[in-house]
């Protein structure tokens, strides 16, 4: 029930519905925690490196730029972008994979998946109103969070989700833009962070034709690689611009002709938002290079292994003694599956909270 005070009536709100969604997301506790959640480098590694928060802001900025040029709804893309990583666990993807494995080992076939967890955060886990759970977001924003990452179908999703959001159909084009903006953001900023950390060099990536082309552009500006910081900045700027403008050029006509999308989903390359086949191939090669040279670098693997042990330890300890959880989560144990409540609590943690709690349980990691 809406309050009687006229200042709270929707008709008096100066924002459009998606801008209101965006504001509710930004003011949520889950959004603030992204500041201390790992992107690639643990938050404790230094102030320069990206976190889930700065990543989400960069995705939002890129998505807004693209939707603006394609004549789409910027506020909807912004809301989806800012919330797309709310369900991530501490320690990046290794944290989510470990939580997924732990749940499945205990017989919970649905396990853990961060996109669905993001949807659950905004639709039920955030508490902001009397009488119902969640942030009270629009259907389009909820659908975009759930379906922004292709493929949309996920066997573990509850039947009611399949019915309400029809996973046989495409989401909004704005959600597709967010998916590609996410890719542009993490590819470019992971190179930036990787080189700044000293774990990789531009030489490690030169077998990528795309990288060589961007390096040539920076060299044409007269910037030397010895000027490390400005060279890296100019490189990232050129790479983002190249990918964004290439996506806009490839997608603009297809978006104009895709006001009503067919229900049949063929493949990502058939979607109206994307890159030409040559650039798609180059991006795929670059991501493989990053996986080999950066994400599997021994220094990263050591940190991720430590994060994995922390997630396992937290899960097993809370399973044995769930009363160690805060009251907000303990109060749900009578109405929800214990393992899901524990997973929700662990997923909500920042890296430093997870490490601190683990150290309280077992001694310093």
Segments making up each domain of the chain, as ranges? 6-177+249-274+304-362
For residue 170, CA distances in Å to 17, 119, 182, 252 come to 21, 17, 18, 18
Answer for the pair 217, 238: CB distance below 8 angstroms, yes or no.
yes
More confident of the two residues 159 and 321: 321
Residue 110 has pLDDT above 80, yes or no: yes
Write out the two tokens for 93.
């993807």
More confident of the two residues 5 and 224: 224
SS (H, E, C) the chain: CCCCCHHHCHHHCCCCHHHHHHHHHHCCHHHHHHHHCECCCCHHHCCCCCEHHHHHHHHHHHHHHHHHHHCCCHHHHHHHHHHCCCCCCCCHHHHHHHHHHHHHHCCCCCCCCHHHHHHHHHHHHCECCCCCCECCCCHHHHHHHHHCCCCCCCCCCCHHHHHHHCCCCCCCHHHHHHHHHHHHHHHHHHHHHHHHHCCCCHHHHCCCHHHHHHHHHHHHCCCCCCCHHHHHHHHHHHHHHHHHHHHHHHHHHHHHCCCCCCCCCCCHHHCCCCCCHHHHHHHHHHHHHHHHHHHCCHHHHHHHHHHHHHHHHHHHHHHHCHHHCCHHHHCCCCCCCHHHHHHHHHHHCCHHHHHHHHHHHHCCC
Answer for the pair 69, 87: CB distance below 8 angstroms, yes or no.
no
Question: How many CB atoms sit inside 10 A of residue 23's CB?
Answer: 16
Separation between Cα atoms, residue 245 and residue 243, nearest integer Å: 6
Cis peptide before 151 (omega within 30 of 0): yes
Stretch 170-181: mean pLDDT: 93
Answer for the pair 331, 23: CB distance below 8 angstroms, yes or no.
no
Q: Which pTM was predicted?
A: 0.89
Return phi, psi of residue 337, to 5°: -60, 130
Residue 85 has pLDDT above 90, yes or no: yes
More confident of the two residues 185 and 266: 185
Of the candidates 160, 122, 114, 117, which has an alpha carbon nearest to the alpha carbon of residue 140? 122
Residue 40 has pLDDT above 80, yes or no: no
Write out the two tokens for 2.
């809406």
pLDDT band at 70, cuts 50/70/90? very high
Answer for the pair 118, 147: CB distance below 8 angstroms, yes or no.
no
pLDDT for residue 37 = 85
Separation between Cα atoms, residue 360 and residue 132, nearest integer Å: 34
Topology of the domain covering 6-177+249-274+304-362: Hypothetical protein af1432 (1.10.3210)
CA 88 to chain centre: 7
pLDDT band at 365, cuts 50/70/90? low
More confident of the two residues 118 and 8: 118
pLDDT for residue 2 = 45
Residue 249 has pLDDT above 90, yes or no: yes
Stretch 124-139: mean pLDDT: 90
Stretch 262-285: mean pLDDT: 79
Residue 22 has pLDDT above 90, yes or no: yes
Separation between Cα atoms, residue 72 and residue 177, nearest integer Å: 10
Lowest-pLDDT range of 2-6, 101-105, 204-208: 2-6
pLDDT for residue 160 = 81
Write out the two tokens for 193.
């962070």
């Amino acid at each position: 029930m809406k309050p009687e005070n006229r200042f709270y009536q929707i008709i008096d709100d100066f924002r459009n519905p998606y801008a209101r969604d965006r504001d509710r997301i930004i003011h949520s506790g889950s959004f603030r925690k992204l500041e201390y959640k790992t992107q690639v480098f643990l938050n404790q590694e230094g102030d320069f490196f990206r976190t889930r928060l700065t990543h989400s802001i960069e995705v939002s900025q890129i998505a807004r730029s693209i939707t603006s040029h394609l004549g789409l709804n910027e506020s909807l893309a912004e809301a989806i972008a800012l919330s797309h990583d709310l369900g991530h666990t501490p320690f990046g993807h290794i944290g989510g994979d470990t939580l997924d494995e732990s749940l499945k080992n205990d017989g919970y076939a649905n396990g853990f998946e961060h996109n669905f967890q993001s949807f659950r955060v905004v639709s039920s886990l955030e508490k902001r109103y009397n009488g119902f759970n969640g942030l009270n977001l629009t259907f389009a924003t909820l659908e975009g969070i759930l379906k922004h990452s292709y493929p949309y179908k996920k066997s573990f999703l509850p039947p009611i989700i399949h019915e309400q959001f029809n996973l046989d159909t495409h989401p909004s084009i704005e959600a597709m833009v967010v998916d590609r903006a996410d890719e542009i953001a993490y590819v470019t900023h992971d190179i930036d962070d990787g080189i700044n950390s000293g774990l990789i060099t531009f030489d490690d990536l030169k077998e990528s034709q795309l990288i060589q082309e961007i390096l040539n552009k920076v060299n044409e500006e007269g910037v030397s690689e010895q000027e490390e910081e400005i060279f890296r900045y100019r490189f990232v700027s050129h790479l983002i611009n190249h990918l964004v403008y290439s996506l806009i050029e490839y997608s603009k006509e297809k978006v104009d002709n895709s006001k009503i999308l067919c229900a049949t989903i063929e493949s990502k390359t058939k979607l109206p938002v994307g890159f030409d086949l040559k650039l798609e191939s180059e991006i795929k090669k670059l991501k493989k290079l990053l996986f080999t040279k950066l994400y599997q670098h021994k220094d990263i693997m050591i940190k991720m292994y430590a994060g994995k042990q922390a997630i396992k330890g937290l899960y097993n300890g809370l399973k044995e003694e769930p009363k160690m959880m805060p009251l907000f989560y303990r109060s749900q144990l009578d109405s929800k599956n214990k393992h899901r409540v524990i997973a929700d609590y662990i997923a909500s943690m920042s890296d430093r909270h997870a490490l601190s709690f683990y150290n309280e349980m077992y001694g310093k990691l």
